[in-house]
A and B are shown apart, each in its own frame.
Chain A
Amino acid sequence: MIQWGFLAPAIIFMLAFFGYPVVKNLIMGFQYYTIKTFFTGEAPWAGMANYVAVFQSPVFGTAVLNTAVFTVGSIAGQFCIGMALALYFRRAFPGSGVLRSLMLLPWLIPLIVSSAVWRWMLDQDNGILNRFLMASHLVSGPPGWLSTTGLALIACIIVNIWIGIPFNMTLLYGGLQDIPEQLYEAAALDGATGWRAFRYVTWPLLRPVVNVVLVLGVVYTLKVLDIILGLTGGGPANASQTIATESYHLSFVEFNFGRGAALGNILILISLAFAILYLRANRRAYDK
């Protein structure tokens, strides 16, 4: 009996702050839940109206596409650079430990701080990036990273990659440390060094960690809100609007909580699909 006493507060908290919101959100998705509800206390039943409205909205297609591009682009960048750096820092050279911890800084500072810094660095007229590009004659005119529809999402992806590199690097580095050195020595005897050693020794043994890193990356990236709101606010003209930011917009800018909830539920479904992948990947990582 006593063990439940230790667990009870945590169970109550988890139910109240994760269980309840999910259930509440499911119900709100079927209700006309607007600013009026807060005065009258009434949220009339809406059936599928919120979902129909969300699906028919022209922003929906854009948001889904942007979410996919943002997620795939971010993960690809974070993972490849993180992997390259993990391999680089695997060699224990003088100072590698200190440098590796310094590398964590982008991941530890608040997301909104990163947004603010990059917003100024990417500024069209006075940002350091455009000053560099102009001075080296790489572009003919200063690109409007945050103000043109073709570039806004790319800018968000670049910033998100910068933030995610340390996380990817740290986990992959940990995975690399677990591969016994003898395997490389044996492989070298068989003539496998460099790329071939990576292909036939590192990659197969790192796969379980890679799976976990990729799925966690997807789940975290789907939720991203701070970075996009801080950089572009989802604009210009919804060019960087994702499902998460659009859900925020519907609920907290238009005060149409029912529709915000409906879109949020779609996001939960997508996350859940990846959650199942995560659990399978994680289980396999332990089995090995």
Chain B
Amino acid sequence: MTVVTPDALTTTAPVLRKRRRVWGWTAGGVAIIVVMLFPVYWMLNVSLQPAGSAVRTSLFPFQLSFAGYAKALNDQGGHLATSLIIALGSVVFSLLIAAPAAYGLALFRIKWADAMLLGILISQMIPGIVVANALYSIYNDIGLLNTVGGLILADSTAGIPFAMLILRAFMMSLPTSVIEAAAVDGAGAVRTFVSIVLPMCRNAIVSAGLFTFLFTWGDFLFALTLTTTRDVQPVTLGLFMYIGAYVNDWSSVMATAVMASIPAIVLLVVAQRYVAAGVTAGAVK
């Protein structure tokens, strides 16, 4: 129970006005969101309407229909599964490579650490099309075109540098006393890393993993250039094929788009606190 103070009972006019103004800011914020997220609403709206009426979509899905989703699942279900496998594979691979490297960069005095960070930053400037151009020929030679493994490796070019940067930044903030104590207890570098450092980095690892998943899930360039057959096609490519041809059924296209957006939406709802931190850490550090 809260105690009601006399002040709160006799709210004066200026306070009321101030409170009203605060809610005015909220109303303005909601209006901004409505405008900004209108395309997302429109995607959802079109996806829920019968295909026939999609030519002249009404503003609300009065005639609720899941036919678009049925067709999309039928056409794109395999592509969604492929995307999921590649994204999960890339998360595991990226973390396996990036976590030890971040530890190495953060906690050892390495002469070349600055040079390596510079290398990571410069790697972010290299256009994807350049990487794809070169990978296509080597993948062709060693048989990695049209393979899940080939796409996992190529897609990890987004996840590994990012994960290294945010994990390193986090590890730098760990209290060194804990790590030194482990060393005094006779734990080797590997054991310290696995049983002390990694558990302390849980949140940062979750962030890095979530973003790696999103990067890979959303990859289009490598899917487009490093596959030549229909064997291994992620949903981004499936969607591109959908809109590449003449479209007469936008509801199934939008249903596919909605399903391809699910990881982003889930991430925002479930792991909100990790997201903003990840955006900032990855960009500035």
Interface residues of A (CB under 8 A from B): 2-7, 9-11, 13-14, 17-18, 20-22, 24-25, 28, 33, 37-38, 85, 88-89, 91, 93-96, 99-121, 126, 128, 162, 165-167, 170-171, 174, 209, 212-213, 216, 219, 222-223, 225-226, 229-230, 244, 247-248, 251-252, 257, 260-261, 264-265, 267-268, 271-272, 274-275, 278-279, 282, 285
Contacts and interface: CB of A to CB of B under 8 A. Distances in A.
Contact of A22 (B26, B130, B280): B130
Contacts of A264: 127, 129-130, 133
B250 A120 contact: yes
Contacts of A128: 42, 57
Contacts of A9: 96-97, 100-101
Q: Is the interface of B mostly helix, strand, loop or mixed?
A: helix
A3 B272 contact: no
B119 A101 contact: no
A116 B257 contact: yes
Given A6-B104, A14-B119, A116-B254, A167 B133 contact: no
Interface stretch (B2-10, B63-71, B152-160): B152-160
B269 to A, nearest CB: 9
Interface residues of B, number: 94
B198 interface: no
B133 A25 contact: yes
A118 B39 contact: yes
Contacts of A113: 43, 218, 236, 239, 257, 260-261
9 contacts: A9-B96, A88-B29, A89-B29, A99-B29, A110-B260, A171-B284, A251-B133, A252-B136, A274-B125
Given A106-B37, A126-B56, A271-B126, 6 more contacts: A94-B22, A104-B276, A109-B261, A174-B284, A223-B128, A268-B127
B212 to A, nearest CB: 13
A101 B272 contact: yes
A11 to B, nearest CB: 8
Q: Is the interface of A mostly helix, strand, loop or mixed?
A: helix
Contacts of A22: 126, 130, 134
B243 interface: yes
Contacts of B132: 248, 251-252
A240 to B, nearest CB: 16
Contacts of B130: 21-22, 25, 247, 261, 264-265, 267-268
A116 B221 contact: no
A107 B121 CA distance: 21
A266 to B, nearest CB: 10
Contacts of B22: 93-94
Contacts of B189: 2-3, 6
Given A171-B280, A267-B130, A278 B121 contact: yes
Nearest to B285: A282
Interface string B257-281: 1001100110110001001100110
